Structure 1
Amino acid sequence: MLIESFFSKECDRQLEFELKDVLYDAEDIIEGYRSKIEASKRDQVRKRSLTTALSSYYEDVSFRYQLGNKIKKVNERLDKIKKDWDMVDRLKKTPKEGGKDPVHGEHVNAKKATHHIGIQQPIGRENDKKVLVEMLSSNDFCSKTEKGGASIISIVGNGGIGKMTLANMVFNEVEQQFMEHRWWLCVSERPNHKDLVRQILRELCKSVGENTDCSLTVLCTQLLNEHSKEKIFLVQDDVWEVKWWEEEIRGTLMAGAIGSKILITSRKKYVFEGMGAFYMHELQEFSFHQSWYLFVKEVLREGQTEEDLVMHKIKFVGEGIVKKYGGLPLVIKMVGSMMRAKKMSREDWNSVMDSKIWEWKTPAASSSSTEIGGVILPGLMLSYDDLPYYLKSYFVYCCIYPKDYEIEIGTLIMQWVAHGLIEVGIDVEATTSQYIENLIRRCLIEEIDLKSIKLHDILHDLALFIGGREHGHASTTE
């Protein structure tokens, strides 16, 4: 069954990590032993007193005893890994019912249109957009501070619920109100104060923001001089905490021209209070009707209609799948894109509907920025597990970049080549372009423009969860 295959892959991954850890520790032991030998040779050249010789003897005995214990522990760990691997092998050899992978099934050509936030028309958030635009246009609300004319409103909701999509809809809607004085800032987790101010300055005034030697106070003064001239609209996307907002940055941004508005998005309600927002818009999960509408839009290929689902007797199966999503648009898009690549057969669709992966949960990771545990994980894992093996490696590799980082495609391809992910002798440009297009079509990465891509925060968490310690060391938001 798929769940057995899935868990055996997870076990393989975990055992591989454990084996690498043991090998790294073994290398450290060998290197320590070599260093000790070199030190002993140097001591033998020197003339030593009896006391020094005795002290050195006891040190050697102690070192050899510790070395023996370390080697013993390494051997014990290797024995345990060998036993665990034998268990996984037995699991893999368990016969599968029907002799066919029930979820992967047979893939058919997907439609050519790419699906990502930049192209696809947002669905199901028109009422939310209307409320927020009215708030931004109203003069009845003002800042909770006494320092100026800027006001803050917030969008709060779980990861994958569509906060950034809604903020983008609002950003475009208020163009006439704020004209060219609109800016978008990705804050992310544990931001650097000076870098944030410098980033805003780069948007307001290109030349001012390039001075990297200024103190935070000087940068804030420059920023205040710029944004006090005209009312502005600033989106601060993905705010995790409020320490960066304190003192100078808060005073600077809130002291802008009267009528200035700041829109923040966050998964944390305390951010709304900590930043002094006058209104919190708590984004709700999609209703079943909204979820179904988005699912159908993702599933149907060119020329197909909902009647095709009825004709193939799979509409009720699709409805059952949609009920498992929890109303999260990101998961709906991902699983819908996965289903689009399958045949319209009850067998293929039922295999997804009945998958035990839907029952799989994992505790939240230690990082406060991770939300892939709980109800959101099964849909993400189903979509990832359905990828061809080579696309899995390319997707997971992207977790080496920080969250919200715009990845330059050319640089990414060179890194894929350098790390041996691209086979020698193929047309690298054509092949990697197709791989990236496939990942975009599967809604696993977002296309920023023709030269850059990025990962949604939740998908960055997924890639980091799958990549684990192999790639995780390079990923940082600090």
Structure 2
Amino acid sequence: MLHDNNQHQLSVISVVEIGGVGKTTLAQCVYNNAELMKGFDLKAWICVSEDFDVVEITRNVIKEISQDTSCLENFNSPQLALKGLFTIFVTSRRENVGSIVQNYCPYFFNGLSDEYCWSVFADNASFPKTSNGSSELEEGIGKCDGLPLAAETLGRLLCTKHDVKEWNKILMSNLWGFFVTDSKIIPALFISYFHLPAYLKRCFVYCSLYPKGYQFNKDELILLWMAEDLLRPVKRGETLVEVGRECFDDLASKLFFKQLQDNERSFVMHDLLHDLAKFLAGDFYCC
């Protein structure tokens, strides 16, 4: 579709489906693939939240692609400057967004089959790719609803527990029935949070103070956790900074943070995990 604009006269391509299915991962694969990007002179990656400002988004695009920001004070100038320059690749959970931004049918991104979901789960749990016919191990993978994020997160939860009994405990959890009207919370993510120790739960929920798509600096966040007294007590021979790094690495290993490809100190939180953090924070935190 990216290289077929002459036929379809596309200026916008939209990929639509529920959260956690892999839309952003697909977009990143395309964006970072040099072969696919041949012929595209300009590239910009922008995260748009539910509460967005058109002027601010336009300014951010200009900042991504140009050193000359002199036109940023005049709204019409950047809009006119950008018009016609881009093929825009949009990912959204909402079908109406895909319909609004283009007159060409959005691409609907389907979930994984149970077989592929098991493969993702097994990779992250360090289970064998095939369970050798053991229905006990594969039973319940359908609870992931074909969402790679759910399969990854559950796999990371079980990566140190290669035990059918532990897997069955999780499958039988009452949390699978967790439901809140209009909630975006995926039960698999809630279960992963539930199994965290209390101090890691505090550190995770604290991150609800930041906007979606925020790039966390690992060292800076650790200092803030220290200042808020969120970390576990220090053991003999440890420093508080070392405890903070251990806490951060534990959360990252369970996919609560994901490292940026081009910066080993910067991390982001998936939109759905941010939704979970905000839900759990309730009215306790205010920003």
- The two structures have a TM-score, normalised by structure 2, of 0.89
CA spacing shift, 1:197–1:182, aligned 2, 3 Å: same
Report how far residue 327 of structure 1 moved.
0.7
Pair 1:420 & 2:232 matched: no
CA distance in structure 2 between the aligned counterparts of 1:319 and 1:210, rounded to whole angstroms: 58
CA spacing shift, 1:360–1:422, aligned 2, 3 Å: closer
2:222, 2:248 within 8 Å by CA — same for their partners in 1?
no
1:28-39 matches, cutoff 5 A? none
1:236-385 matches, cutoff 5 A? 252-253=82-83, 255-256=84-85, 260-300=86-126, 305-306=128-129, 309-310=131-132, 315-342=134-161, 344-365=162-183, 371-372=184-185, 376=186, 378-385=187-194
1:317, 1:353 within 8 Å by CA — same for their partners in 2?
no
Report how far residue 169 of structure 1 moved.
1.6
Deviation per residue, 1:393-424 (Å, 9 max, x gap) = 11111110011111222332222122111367
Report how far residue 349 of structure 1 moved.
2.1
Counterpart of 2:216?
407
1:408, 1:453 within 8 Å by CA — same for their partners in 2?
yes
1:135-174 matches, cutoff 5 A? 135-138=1-4, 139-143=6-10, 151-173=11-33, 174=36
Report how far residue 434 of structure 1 moved.
1.8
CA spacing shift, 1:306–1:266, aligned 2, 3 Å: closer
Report how far residue 354 of structure 1 moved.
1.8
Q: Which of the pair is proportionally richer in helix?
A: 1
Pair 1:391 & 2:217 matched: no
Residue identity (%): 28
CA spacing shift, 1:137–1:385, aligned 2, 3 Å: same
CA spacing shift, 1:306–1:160, aligned 2, 3 Å: closer
Report how far residue 190 of structure 1 moved.
2.1
CA spacing shift, 1:393–1:319, aligned 2, 3 Å: same
Q: If you compute each CA radius of gyration, which structure gives the higher value, 1 or 2?
A: 1
User: What amino acid does structure 2 have at the position aligned with 1:320?
Assistant: E
- The two structures have a TM-score, normalised by structure 1, of 0.55
SS of the residue corresponding to residue 107 of structure 2 reads: strand
1:321, 1:352 within 8 Å by CA — same for their partners in 2?
no
1:209-248 matches, cutoff 5 A? 209=69, 214-221=73-80, 224=81
Deviation per residue, 1:436-478 (Å, 9 max, x gap) = 111111011111232222211100010111111112x21xxxx
1:157, 1:163 within 8 Å by CA — same for their partners in 2?
yes
1:384, 1:392 within 8 Å by CA — same for their partners in 2?
yes
CA distance in structure 1 between the aligned counterparts of 2:214 and 2:129, rounded to whole angstroms: 38
Pair 1:175 & 2:34 matched: no
Pair 1:435 & 2:247 matched: yes
CA distance in structure 2 between the aligned counterparts of 1:273 and 1:264, rounded to whole angstroms: 11
Report how far residue 155 of structure 1 moved.
0.2
Counterpart of 1:79?
none
1:198, 1:210 within 8 Å by CA — same for their partners in 2?
no
CA distance in structure 1 between the aligned counterparts of 2:215 and 2:274, rounded to whole angstroms: 12
CA spacing shift, 1:262–1:277, aligned 2, 3 Å: farther
User: What amino acid does structure 1 have at the position aligned with 2:118?
Assistant: W
The RMSD of aligned alpha carbons is 2.1
User: What amino acid does structure 2 have at the position aligned with 1:437?
Assistant: D
1:142, 1:278 within 8 Å by CA — same for their partners in 2?
no
Q: Which runs of 5+ in 1 are unaligned?
A: 1-134, 144-150, 225-251, 366-370
SS of the residue corresponding to residue 255 of structure 2 reads: coil
